[in-house]
Structure 1
Amino acid sequence: MANNSADEVVSGEIWEQFCDELKAAGQQILRAEAPNDAFNRAEGWRYLTRLTRIGLDMFMECSDRDFPTFYRPSHETAKIGADNPDNIYLRAEINGMNDYRISGSRGTVAYLGFIAIAGGYEEADGNMRSVASLDTHSGLAVNADGSVEVILSRHPQPGNWLKITDDTLAVLVRETFLDRNTEVFADLRIERLNADGAKPAPLQATQLVESLRKTTAFVKGTASLFADWAQDFKAHPNSLPPADQAYCQKLGGDPNIFYYHGYFKLADDEALLIEVDRIPECDNWNFQLNNYWMESLEYRYVQIHLNKHTAHYRSDSGVSIVVGATDPSCVNWLDTTGHREGTMAFRWIGAAEHPQPQCRVVKMHELPQLIQAP
């Protein structure tokens, strides 16, 4: 195996394979059911470049499990699977046979959660299984000075303990904001315990070959997985049915979140009115718009999502959300940013009950009679 890897590296064969596999991933953008206009295709090709960047971080730059570091597997310019605009995601690659410590400042984010993961989208079954979780909803302990420490190991530990297993390969962190303008994110680092002064080894040919192959498998697997989802959602437009919660957990979903996924398709003079008549006690809830490829729309500069804190509530304590291409001069309007169709997601976070969001398509001119003015 070592000689084969060396030959592939020296000859350049591994680079040709890498480029060929990335080219093959483009078939997901060209699927028959996907939008075929220039606007959506351009976002699709950009999506593949973003998945490639994430994959290279995951399998090339941050893949040393003995010397892990946190990186952002989904963020403002690289997005996967209805990434939550209220979240900062952190991920570190680890070896389930080692013990680790996560430490730092807890910050003031509304929700902080850790999930140990086995498997990934690069594998044949695309299964990113959750091994165990620990979060502020279920009792994460924070020190008086605002610091936090979590031990990751196979055997129980005092204090904050996140169980890992022999096949655990990563830890995923979710930091969930109610208000990014005022809340302070958690500043965390991770280290392997009992490293005994060891240092990372130089790059080897076998490692390079494996990293490039896993990167392309990740790009193809991720693109295929969420293209399948979008195809399913498209069959039932302008509705928000509950997702298969067990399946969401297999893909790395948070066990404290109840998910809904759907598809919007609107004419220029139409709006999607989403109504939730009762908001239960919860850590947070949110609703967001995504493009066809299940990337959140541009939330840095445009209002494309709402949550527990940012939404305006009706006098009966319910909430009405308006999705449309033009500003109807009403509260809770979300801008489709030039998209006539795309995907969408609703979450209940830390809620004991899950009222169903109701959706209906209305004409823009009808909105003043249907919802409250700002």
Structure 2
Amino acid sequence: MPDFTGDPVATASQHEQELAALELIEHPTVKAAYHSVAENWLSRAKASDAMRERFDAAFAEVMFSAAVWSSNQDTMRPKVSCITRLGHPVAGRSIPGSRWGIDNPDSIYRVIPISGDERYEIRGRVGANRMTENYFTLWDAHMGTVAVLNGRTMAVESDGSFVITVDADPADGRPNHVQTTPAAHEFYIRDVLLNWDRDDPNHLAVERISGSAAPPARTLDEQADATAAMMAHFANFTGKLSHGVYKMAPNNFNLAWSADTVGAMRNQVYVMGRFELQPGEAFVVDVSDGGAEYFTVPLSNIWGTTLDIVDRTGSLNKAQSVPNEDGTYTFVIAATDPGIANWIDSDGLNEGILTLRMAEFGDDGPKEDLGARGRVVALDDLERQVPGLRRVSPQERATQLADRRAAYLRRLPEGTI
């Protein structure tokens, strides 16, 4: 029986994987790929000077995520890997961040490699405060959905423990069963924390229970080749995603779509766009959530990493936001503090990507009022153009940010670097 007495994310296994990835990125093959992928990405991105200044730090995170993720691809020796974290210390060493692909700041992303020819058990335990949104998505090799298990509604014992069975057979009475196919490649698990200060991520462990013998594990050189390939894939994936957003007209935030391919989550609605401002301007976003229990409004750079989400309000979700009197929400995106409660801090940037995510609509799906609309407003004219917004004092803002950091560190007990 797995030991679930420690932290659900900062496990001994997670730290071992991170330290191993830290050594891996020093391999000559990986270091060569690091430089070639960077040059290729920069040559294609046509980034502004402001975005170019963010590249080095963002690129280091994207590449470290590739090292961690690519190291856990052995379906005969599966592990649980958290693949999107902020930089933190482990055993006296600095572990880089691993955000990529326009991550959701509310999500703890974990992966488990799976083969459709094998049998597995995922054992875990939910916390006292279960999450509003939690999905175990079985992907194929192209991030397409093979099957989904809803962690919010799965069967759980009185002590919070659960077992998920994974194999090619029908459930046949097994309560938390995921039936695989030959296309099954890995689980992509989202633990989404709406209330950072209260929601508990799941403890997780995996075991392959098939009797077939495992072939030899990858050599270090083979692993380095796999990491180099994933580094290039991550850069191409994010580059295409950002290019698609930047093909849209700026400051036109009104597109809603849903999908279950290329990493998008089935049953979520995404509203994507970008802002492009002049000094002294803000981008005001009006949101009607269509009855969603959960939504988040995060900002990202064109390299696919979110902005400062711990010491700045680089994102706000439904629980962190103040609603309007009619139940809608209004957010003000700006590089400087406008003194508004729902300020999303662009960390000095006058351009960026927004990826509003909405989920958990109930059995009837989204209401007809679902949507979001954006407009540019001069900061000096904000109160006249957008009256009635809840204002905050400098002391209230300082308290908000202190509470935000403390709440985030519940999932990063090692601290930040």
User: Smaller-chain TM-score range?
Assistant: 0.7 to 0.9
Q: How far does the alpha carbon of each residue in 1:292-329 deviate from its partner, in whole angstroms, 9 at most, with x for none? A: 21211111111111222111001111110100011111
Equivalent residue for 1:44, pick from 55, 72, 87: 55
1:365 maps to 2:365: no
The 2-side partners of 1:172 and 1:283 are apart by: 22
1:206-285 paired onto structure 2 within 5 Å:
207-235=219-247, 236-242=249-255, 245-246=258-259, 249-276=260-287, 278-285=288-295
Equivalent residue for 2:81, pick from 48, 53, 71: 71
Match of 2:165 in 1: 151
Match of 1:133 in 2: 148
Match of 1:122 in 2: none
1:160 maps to 2:167: no
The 2-side partners of 1:195 and 1:84 are apart by: 38
| CA spacing shift, 1:294–1:18, aligned 2, 3 Å | closer
Q: Which moved more, 1:211-220 or 1:251-260?
A: 211-220
Aligned residues: 343
Shift of 1:178: 1.2
The 1-side partners of 2:351 and 2:268 are apart by: 25
C-alpha contact 1:266 1:340 (8 A) present in aligned 2: yes
1:335-350 paired onto structure 2 within 5 Å:
335-350=345-360
Shift of 1:16: 5.4
Match of 1:10 in 2: none
Shift of 1:345: 0.5
C-alpha contact 2:146 2:183 (8 A) present in aligned 1: no
Shift of 1:33: 4.8
1:34 maps to 2:54: no
The 2-side partners of 1:18 and 1:326 are apart by: 39
SS at 2:57 equivalent: helix
C-alpha contact 2:63 2:98 (8 A) present in aligned 1: no
1:257-336 paired onto structure 2 within 5 Å:
257-276=268-287, 278-336=288-346
Structure 1: unaligned runs, 5 residues or longer: 1-14, 120-126
Structure 2: unaligned runs, 5 residues or longer: 1-26, 87-96, 392-417
Shift of 1:114: 0.1
The 2-side partners of 1:153 and 1:203 are apart by: 22
The 2-side partners of 1:210 and 1:217 are apart by: 11
Match of 1:7 in 2: none
Q: How far does the alpha carbon of each residue in 1:202-238 deviate from its partner, in whole angstroms, 9 at most, with x for none? A: 655xx44442222222211221222222223223112
Q: How far does the alpha carbon of each residue in 1:15-54 deviate from its partner, in whole angstroms, 9 at most, with x for none? A: 65544433221234423553242x5324323333223322
Match of 1:24 in 2: 36
C-alpha contact 1:66 1:192 (8 A) present in aligned 2: yes
SS at 1:220 equivalent: helix
The 1-side partners of 2:209 and 2:59 are apart by: 36
What amino acid maps onto 1:175 in structure 2? D
SS at 2:51 equivalent: helix
SS at 1:357 equivalent: strand
Runs of 4+ in 1 over 6 A off after TM superposition: none
What's the % identity of the aligned pairs? 23
The 2-side partners of 1:33 and 1:87 are apart by: 27
The 2-side partners of 1:365 and 1:341 are apart by: 19
| CA spacing shift, 1:349–1:19, aligned 2, 3 Å | same
What amino acid maps onto 1:113 in structure 2? Y
Shift of 1:244: 5.4
The 1-side partners of 2:53 and 2:179 are apart by: 42
| CA spacing shift, 1:241–1:358, aligned 2, 3 Å | closer
SS at 1:189 equivalent: strand
User: C-alpha root-mean-square deviation of aligned residues, in Å?
Assistant: 2.2
